[in-house]
Amino acid sequence: MSNQPKRQLEEKFVVRLPDGMRERIALQARENTRSMNSEIVHRLETTVELEAALGRALKIIDQLLAAAPACELPGARA
């Protein structure tokens, strides 16, 4: 095992932010009592999780719509 501190083993990635975004992230980080880095990581993790959950929900909706006769759907015309 390496003697390097954990921080040195973490991957670094440089991102160019649109004008004003840095300030908005800094404000949100302060409001959430996080560092800017922690705020960005939190938001990325949340987005990935929510997109996965949305994909699963849409798949279930598609399956339900495919299985339901048209006359049972609200607003459907027989």
**What would the 3-class secondary structure string for the chain be?**
CCCCCHHHHCCCCCCCCCCCHHHHHHHHHHHCCCCHHHHHHHHHHHHHHHHHHHHHHHHHHHHHHHHCCHHHCCCCCC
Tokens 């404000």 label which residue? 27
- Judge whether 40 lies within some domain: yes
Query: What pLDDT score was predicted for residue 10?
Result: 80
Report the alpha-carbon distance of residue 38 to residue 46 in Å, rounded: 12
Q: What is the pLDDT along the chain (78 residues), one digit of tens a residue?
A: 556 666 666 888 899 999 999 999 999 999 999 999 999 999 999 999 999 999 999 999 998 888 877 666 666 655
- Judge whether 72 lies within some domain: no
3-state secondary structure of 4: coil
- Judge whether 13 lies within some domain: no
- Judge whether 73 lies within some domain: no
- Judge whether 9 lies within some domain: no
Domain housing 40 = 19-65
How many domains does the chain contain in total?
1
- Judge whether 71 lies within some domain: no
Query: What pLDDT score was predicted for residue 67?
Result: 86
Query: What pLDDT score was predicted for residue 60?
Result: 94
- Judge whether 78 lies within some domain: no
